[in-house]
Amino acid sequence: MDCKSGRWAEQILEAQHDDGTWGLMFHSMVLNQSSAKRPLTTEQSLFRLKALGFDINDEPIRKTVDCMKACLRGERKIDDYWEKTHDWTLFTKLMLSAWVKIFDPSFDLSLSFERQWSDVIGNAFASGVFNQDDYVKAYISQFSKKPRGAREIDFVDFYHISLLQGILTQEIESLLLDYIISKPDGIFYIYRKPLNKFPVTFSSKESSHYLGALELLAGYESAKDRLGFAVDWLNENKDENGQWDFSSKSNDSAYFPLSDSWRNAKDRKVDCTERVNMFLRKICL
């Protein structure tokens, strides 16, 4: 399925600035579409373009990644937005490093930062279970300060999970995934319920976002062993034609739609089925 030339991609790309950003602020992980009064942030645009199949080989993504790299090198600022409840300098570095890694995992500054976080998480789970005191000690050792904001104290969010892929030992990775899957409030920014409990209704936006959390974890090698329960859930919810349908309510303009229009339910089912199959291919090899 080629979604790069569809009207959703065209709409986003037309709004991109010459510097690779979408103006306004960078940060916002709210999974819904903007309006004329509230245009897309750079981060929302990246999230949406990734869902539509764009990668570092596409010029719009390369321009944005180059911009984020320049910010990490201290050559420019991403924007003037600031949140006082976080260590915003460190959090900005986390956001940018995570997004750069998603599209270009070889960038040296992202690699250096992810190694710091690998040390923090490795020490936090060194006893075989997560230990908050060990986490804080390792955090202070790496960053010379105590975690004070919610996203420093609780690392289970889109950015940390993206950044830590492929760098942890197999043992620590398995412990981390078990911890995330059983966490009562899920993954911040993506799905705020426990992943070891399925959504009540399959055909729903909630199930689409639940799948989004599973897709994020699928980037870990241990996911092949840890996400088998999700395979069963998906197989149980196929229709008689072997397709999946999250319903028209799952149109959040983040994950869906992929087709130009969902006026025809057939197109919606094609979109949903393609997404589920992509996930299954990642964890069932």
Give the confidence band of 35 by pLDDT, cuts at 50, 70, 90.
very low
Query: Could you tell me if 125 and 172 are in contact, meaning their C-beta atoms sit under 8 angstroms apart?
Result: yes
Q: Has residue 49 got a pLDDT over 90?
A: yes
User: What mean pLDDT do residues 89-113 have?
Assistant: 95
Q: Which two tokens stand for residue 168?
A: 């942890």
The identity of residue 56, as a single letter, is I
Q: Has residue 247 got a pLDDT over 50?
A: yes
Average pLDDT value for the chain: 94
Quick one: pLDDT at residue 123?
Answer: 98
Nearest to 118 by CA among 69, 176, 72: 176
Question: What single-letter DSSP state applies at residue 249?
Answer: G
Quick one: pLDDT at residue 37?
Answer: 53
What is the distance between the alpha carbons of residues 282 and 285, in angstroms, rounded to a whole number? 7
Q: Which two tokens stand for residue 183?
A: 């966490």
Q: CB neighbours of 167 closer than 8 A, spacing ≥ 6?
A: 114, 115, 118
pTM for the full model? Answer: 0.95
What is the distance between the alpha carbons of residues 45 and 197, in angstroms, rounded to a whole number? 30
Query: Could you tell me if 16 and 63 are in contact, meaning their C-beta atoms sit under 8 angstroms apart?
Result: yes
Quick one: pLDDT at residue 73?
Answer: 97
User: What mean pLDDT do residues 24-33 have?
Assistant: 71
Give the confidence band of 104 by pLDDT, cuts at 50, 70, 90.
very high
Exposed, middle or buried, 186 (CB in 10 Å: 0-12/13-18/19+)? buried
Nearest to 48 by CA among 25, 31, 73: 31
What is the distance between the alpha carbons of residues 228 and 226, in angstroms, rounded to a whole number? 6
Please tell me the least confidently modeled range out of 71-85, 92-106, 209-223: 71-85
Q: Structural domain boundaries of the chain? A: 1-81, 84-189, 198-285
The identity of residue 204, as a single letter, is S
